[in-house]
Amino acid sequence: MAKIRRHSVGSVLFSGWNITFLSLFSLTILYPFAHVVASALSDNAAVLGGRVTFYPIRPTLEALRQLMINRGYRSAMGNTIFTTIVGTVLNVIVTSMLAYVLAKKELPLVRQLNFLVVFPMFFSGGMIPTYLIVRNLGIINTYWAYFLPSLISPFYCLLLRNFFASLPKELEESAILDGATNARILMTIIIPLSKAAIATIALFYAVEHWNVFLQAIMYITNRSLWTLQMFLRELIAQSDMSFEKPEGADQFVALESLRMAAILVSVLPILCVYPFVQKYFVQGVMVGSVKG
């Protein structure tokens, strides 16, 4: 017969307090997002009258439709998708290659190389020297300005290095006996066994590229290369008098609704991607942080 576990009064009160506090804290996080969704889907009169809270009033998709036909938005969204996909692929490839080298403790000068990777985590050259380097490389107003300055994150590289170091060395030794090169070992053995860690850093990199803002302000002056965050910045800074209704719009939509619609559309793609990599997220972070 199973024993009935009795909880003390203190543990019950503590659990009740935790549930209450975390529930209220969750509501403070969810309410702003619910307000954005409701404002993007509500009627103009309700938005302008300030009557929208956390549910749509007289729901309509006109704000989303006018946003989709806006040429500036479509250009910014295309640039954001392109930089996120290409940038994440480049980040993962280069970070994996460097992490594989750092995981080989028997290599000469590997400690010095690890130091060079760790040092920028605490000390950086600063904004102005970084801008001068980017300018001298001739990548101002190019897509490379989004990729090269943030090609490798030291923290993600060390995270992946620790994961590689935790893999059995016997697998690599047997592959070497079969005549496999380091590149083949990395591609056919190390990476397939490191899906959790790679998916984790890929998600981190993708979020950074999707939300890129500082690099766009510093290195991009050509509006055709603006990302979604730059479009949102311009949209939020506009007044109702300066906003031009896009061609094909058959009715007036409040600028506030367009702002909320743009914020909603900018958040949804990342929310849709996250569930597919969530199962790798905890495993990748925990395993990659055990060994150093």
pLDDT average, residue stretch 32-49:
82
Q: Rounded mean pLDDT of 240-269?
A: 69
Give the per-residue pLDDT at 291. Answer: 46
Geometric angle at alpha carbon 114, from 172 and 211, rounded to 5°: 95
Please provide the average confidence, as pLDDT, over all residues in the chain: 82
Can you give the residue ranges of every domain in the chain? 1-60, 64-292
Percent of the chain scored above 70 by pLDDT?
87
Round to whole Å and give the CA distance between 168 and 70.
Answer: 53
Q: What is the pLDDT of residue 239?
A: 59
Report residue 274 as tokens: 């996250």
Residue 21 is which amino acid?
F
Interval 53-91: pLDDT, tens: 877 888 788 888 888 888 888 899 999 999 999 999 999
CA distance 92 to 195: 11
Which pLDDT does position 168 carry in this prediction? 83
Radius of gyration of the chain (CA): 25
193-199 average pLDDT score = 85
Report which residue type is found at 223: R
Of how many residues is the chain composed? 292
Query: What is d(CA 101, CA 202) in angstroms, rounded to the nearest whole number?
Result: 19
Q: pLDDT: is 273 or 19 the higher one? A: 19
Q: What is the mean pLDDT of residues 272-286?
A: 66
Integer Cα distance of 31 and 181 in angstroms: 54
Which DSSP letter does residue 249 get? Answer: -
pLDDT beyond 60 at 194: yes
Could you tell me if 121 and 87 are in contact, meaning their C-beta atoms sit under 8 angstroms apart?
no
User: 61-81 burial, b for 16+ CB within 10 Å, e for fewer?
Assistant: ebbbbbbeebebbebbbebbe
In this prediction, residue 14 has a pLDDT band, given cuts at 50, 70 and 90, of: confident
CB-CB contact of 40 with 58 (8 Å): no
Whose structure tokens read 């594989």?
A: 100
* 242 CB-near residues (< 8 Å, 6+ apart): none
Q: Among all chains, which residue has been given the structure tokens 């995981």?
A: 103
Q: Residue 216 is encoded by which pair of tokens?
A: 């766009």
Mean pLDDT for 278-292 is 55
Tens digit of each residue's pLDDT (9 = 90 or more) over 205-249:
998 999 888 888 899 988 889 998 888 888 887 755 445 555 555
Class of domain 64-292: mainly alpha
Burial tier of 6 (Cβ tally within 10 Å: 0-12, 13-18, 19+)? exposed
pTM: 0.79
In this predicted structure, the answer to whether residue 290 has a pLDDT above a threshold of 60 is no
